[in-house]
Chain A
Amino acid sequence: MAAATEVSVPDLGDFADVPVIEIHVAAGDVVSAEDPLISLESDKATMDIPAPAAGTVRELRVKVGDLVSRGSPILLLDTEGTLTEPPLIDQQEPPAQAVADPVAAQEPARRSAESALAAGTPGTPGTPGTPVTAVEAGPAADFDGVHAGPGVRRLARELGIDLVALSGTGPKGRITKDDVIAVVRGPAAAPPGAAAAQGGGIPEIPAQDFSRFGPVEIRPLTRIQRLSGPALHRSWLNVPHVTHNDEADITDLDAYRSELDAAAKTEGYRVTLLAFLMKASVSALREFPKFNSSLTPEKDALVYKSYYHLGVAVDTPEGLVVPVIRDVDRKGITELSRELGAVSARARDGKLDLADLQGASFTISSLGGIGGTAFTPIVNAPEVAILGVVRARTAPVWDGTAFVPRLMLPISLSYDHRVIDGALAARFARYLCHLLEDVRRLVL
């Protein structure tokens, strides 16, 4: 006899309430282990959930558009070769309907039970009487092999949590009571930091009925906005921000860039200022390693990173995303330009993977294509600094004897004042501008 296994959504990392965008199987389909069952789209990353074992799809539990989280049921799979328990009724079957006065109602009760047996389901609606408290539906799965004590197993059953799909935070991965409770609090429950940021003793902005003042329309935030909002809020509240402004003379750099770009166009990619900013940033990070560090959770030490992965803010129709370009120190302008082009295209198409979004040690946000004179970028904590650039403009610059027209690039460097002080930031900014002013220094 085949056993029906409930396949549920595995650990997706920090994501919850992810929409199902595609279902690859239907009831009755035979699947092999690792065959994709459904596709989910989360934070611009699309991922397939594979079949955990070979079998036949008995019943789908999701449809396209459903929001799922870790542990959400996907489908019932009849797996071959595993024996089930004796043919008893489903464990969550509610008790038979009760009879108000069982003695008086002997015959109806008997008929009820008989017809119930005939129908294969205990209890028949229509029997006079009050229903007995039904057993709440919960996980029928065995918790065999799950690393959780009996008290936690009971709690999980009472709350309807499938421990098989849960990873524990206790010693050696033991599932604790808190782990179970965290699941119940659900997708809304963000990491402790976010919870603190949302509450944190800060008075809420009172709700207002705007329609009192004129016609309004409510449009939901995009998924990206909903995800990035709490992160930005968290950073803003946790990091004491200072923004330092400077400007770099990029007249020569831009001439060089234009030459390269003209050549690149024929090969199908573009060379933008961003690639130079990245190279210059890596040089500055090497010179000032504190900018490539993070505070430890105890905030009593710095973690210095020996890698240079740079986050690059990309504007997309859905909102701002920050893909990460890895090992910028080992890549040249050409390679970076090609990679930037590819990653931006994928970002705009919503095809970034989770891995594309993780691991940055420093971030650059460029508004150069749009305008502005200066702005205050928010540090992407736990990084400690972020470089913002706006549009370069030609300005009269005093060269000692006369005003000459030069192409000046304003930069805005926001930093975590717990890690970096003002003088260091000024030196970092100057060093960066110095590199940009003479492109030859970049190759040193």
Chain B
Amino acid sequence: MENQTAGVLVLGGGPGGYTAAFRAADLGQRVVLVDREPALGGVCLNVGCIPSKALLHAAKVIAETKEMSENGITFGAPAVDLDKLRAWKQGVVRRLTGGLAVLAKQRKVTTIRGYGRFTSPHQLQVDLAEGGTTTVGFEQAIIAAGSEPLTLPFIPASDPRVIDSTGALELAEMPGRLLIVGGGIIGLEMATVYHELGAKVTIAELMDQLIPGADKDLISPLAKRVAARYENIYLKTKVTGVEARPEGLVVSFDGPKAPATDTFDRILVAVGRTPNGKLIGAENAGVTVDDRGFIPVNKQQRTSAAHIFAIGDIIGQPMLAHKAMHEGKVAAEVTAGKNSFFDARAIPSVAYTDPEVAWAGTTETEARAAGIEYGKGVFPWAASGRSLTLGRSEGLTKVLFDEGSGRVIGCGIVGPNAGDLIAEAALAIEMGADAADIALTIHPHPTLSETVALAAEAFEGTITDLYLPRPRDRPAG
């Protein structure tokens, strides 16, 4: 392959990288996109958000048909054809990644498949997937090289029975007993899938709650539901060792409720992700990388090298596709001379578990820790007609308001489709809406979206769908 030159080089073709590449191209830049995977889309499209959502949909269908038997419709036990399910999932992924290839072509973005490393401030060397190497010279660069699943040293990674999220999505076979190390979003989503497909799931989480970082009241309906369905949930529990034996993986635990040892057919390690900052020769380009592998940037996504930008997982938490995409646009615009900044006031987080958990802006835990004077409006879904007609009543919508300004500062939702509902809260935070703005916006009835307005009404004291004996004291107005 001939050596290439680029106005803007983008390293990494995930959601952040392709967004940056496309935006830069649309702004008239000559863009080269380097990605090591055979298909664009990165972890999100290939081995993350998208395939997991396909499998979660399958899990949801199984769960709902099962539950409907209580209400008069009984289906037979599902016959799961793993090959067919996997093929459908891969079809969805192919369709999306194929779409990206077309979008790249339409914009005349040159795509190079291979592993790129910086060799100088203006050069990237690529070990091509097809063999051989090439060099890309560039004026400016955007690093979007992402992250990898974190591994634990005492778990034998070489054993095929030990998998990470990528392996879990491959659905090689259904284990009898599955241990998931890590009770965060990824672990719980995979637990949802494997449980419905017939595995006996055990979760070991180091912290004292599932999805650490989210408010406890939002997690509690989820915790209650999974506790009743999964084999074991061990909180405050450490996995201290794994011994691979022919009959199974013998795991030693250290935790208040966990046994000393137990044997599993498979282990899914979902303890987090680590950035790829140390794997790309950043030092050759004058780009500072911190000890953990993150690349520090300013609010214009600029690294310590002024002509090189970084976005997405590689610059820090939260490692979320939608954050990376937004950053990608900022970086692309800055390379094109626009004065763009990343100044988002809310980055929503969603766990696509059953029930879903979503939050945006300040969490109640954070507000309390920061000493923010806040008020909250809470609406339990047990009073939502729409939720009950879905056969569910455990949901909760909570909206937090700054006592001083009256504006929305955060929102948390647990319940089916919480991930879709949280977008309204993000908009409200960005626009500086207060409780009345949300409460006085007519929401369609009966929907789950109403619960956001009803939570705002609960804060306002104008709610009629609940009886609050002692409306909270509020400053007038």
Residue of A nearest to B345 (CB): A150
The verdict on A126 contacting chain B, using a C-beta distance below 8 Å, is no
Q: Which residues of A contact B303 (CB under 8 A)?
A: 88
CA distance A85 to B3 in the complex (A): 38
Known: A135-B334, A157-B340. A106 touches B302 (CB 8 A): no
Residue of A nearest to B4 (CB): A103
Known: A95-B140, A102-B138, A158-B338. A89 touches B430 (CB 8 A): no
Tell me whether A103 and B137 are in contact (CB under 8 A).
yes
A-B contact list, 25 entries, CB within 8 Å: A88-B303, A89-B304, A91-B299, A95-B306, A95-B307, A96-B305, A98-B122, A99-B137, A99-B139, A102-B122, A102-B138, A103-B123, A103-B135, A106-B123, A113-B122, A122-B306, A133-B336, A135-B334, A135-B339, A138-B339, A142-B343, A147-B407, A150-B344, A154-B341, A174-B432
Contact string, B405-432, partner A, CB cutoff 8 A, digits 1/0?
A: 0010000000000000000000000111
Q: Which residues of A contact B337 (CB under 8 A)?
A: 133-136
The verdict on B298 contacting chain A, using a C-beta distance below 8 Å, is yes
Q: Which residues of B contact A143 (CB under 8 A)?
A: 343
The verdict on B286 contacting chain A, using a C-beta distance below 8 Å, is yes
CA distance A91 to B344 in the complex (A): 17
The verdict on A63 contacting chain B, using a C-beta distance below 8 Å, is no
Q: Which residues of A contact B5 (CB under 8 A)?
A: 101-103
The verdict on A109 contacting chain B, using a C-beta distance below 8 Å, is yes
CA distance A184 to B174 in the complex (A): 64
The verdict on B52 contacting chain A, using a C-beta distance below 8 Å, is no
Interfacial residues of chain B within 106-138, with CB under 8 A of chain A in the complex: 120-123, 135, 137-138
The verdict on A75 contacting chain B, using a C-beta distance below 8 Å, is no
Residue of B nearest to A96 (CB): B307
Known: A106-B123, A109-B120, A143-B343. 13 other contacts (CB 8 A): A89-B306, A91-B298, A91-B299, A95-B307, A96-B305, A99-B137, A103-B5, A106-B120, A110-B120, A122-B305, A123-B307, A148-B432, A149-B432
The verdict on A132 contacting chain B, using a C-beta distance below 8 Å, is yes
Interfacial residues of chain B within 275-305, with CB under 8 A of chain A in the complex: 285-286, 296-300, 302-305
Interfacial residues of chain A within 197-224, with CB under 8 A of chain B in the complex: none
Q: Which residues of A contact B297 (CB under 8 A)?
A: 88
Residue of B nearest to A158 (CB): B339
Interfacial residues of chain A within 79-118, with CB under 8 A of chain B in the complex: 85-86, 88-89, 91-96, 98-99, 101-106, 109-110, 112-114, 117
B122 → A minimal CB distance (Å): 4
Tell me whether B343 and A85 are in contact (CB under 8 A).
no
Interface residues on A, range: 35 or more
Interfacial residues of chain B within 83-110, with CB under 8 A of chain A in the complex: none
Q: Which residues of B contact A106 (CB under 8 A)?
A: 120, 122-123, 137
Most buried by A among B122, B123, B340: B122
Q: Which residues of A contact B341 (CB under 8 A)?
A: 91, 153-154, 157
Q: Which residues of A contact B302 (CB under 8 A)?
A: 88-89, 91, 93
Tell me whether B334 and A117 are in contact (CB under 8 A).
no
Q: Which residues of A contact B122 (CB under 8 A)?
A: 98-99, 102, 105-106, 109-110, 113
Task: Tell me the B residues contacting A by CB distance below 8 Å.
Answer: 3, 5, 120-123, 135, 137-140, 285-286, 296-300, 302-307, 334-341, 343-345, 407, 430-432, 434
A74 → B minimal CB distance (Å): 22
Tell me whether B121 and A113 are in contact (CB under 8 A).
yes
CA distance A251 to B407 in the complex (A): 68
The verdict on A128 contacting chain B, using a C-beta distance below 8 Å, is no
Q: Which residues of A contact B434 (CB under 8 A)?
A: 172
Contact partner of A150 (CB less than 8 A), chosen from B120, B135, B304, B430, is B430
The A interface, classified by DSSP as helix, strand, loop or mixed, is loop
A124 → B minimal CB distance (Å): 11
A85 → B minimal CB distance (Å): 6
Task: Tell me the A residues contacting B by CB distance below 8 Å.
Answer: 85-86, 88-89, 91-96, 98-99, 101-106, 109-110, 112-114, 117, 122-123, 132-136, 138, 142-143, 147-150, 153-154, 157-158, 160, 172, 174
B472 → A minimal CB distance (Å): 22
A97 → B minimal CB distance (Å): 8
Q: Which residues of A contact B343 (CB under 8 A)?
A: 142-143, 150, 153
Most buried by A among B306, B336, B431: B306
Q: Which residues of B contact A92 (CB under 8 A)?
A: 339
Known: A138-B339, A157-B341. A113 touches B432 (CB 8 A): no
Known: A89-B298, A102-B123. A149 touches B431 (CB 8 A): yes
Residue of B nearest to A93 (CB): B306
Q: Which residues of B contact A154 (CB under 8 A)?
A: 340-341
CA distance A341 to B122 in the complex (A): 74
A322 → B minimal CB distance (Å): 38
Q: Which residues of A contact B432 (CB under 8 A)?
A: 147-149, 172, 174
Q: Which residues of A contact B135 (CB under 8 A)?
A: 103
Known: A102-B5, A103-B5, A136-B337. A88 touches B120 (CB 8 A): no
Known: A102-B137, A103-B3, A150-B344. A88 touches B304 (CB 8 A): yes
Q: Which residues of B contact A142 (CB under 8 A)?
A: 299, 343
Contact partner of B339 (CB less than 8 A), chosen from A110, A117, A132, A136, is A136
CA distance A89 to B286 in the complex (A): 13
A63 → B minimal CB distance (Å): 26
CA distance A117 to B5 in the complex (A): 23
B327 → A minimal CB distance (Å): 14
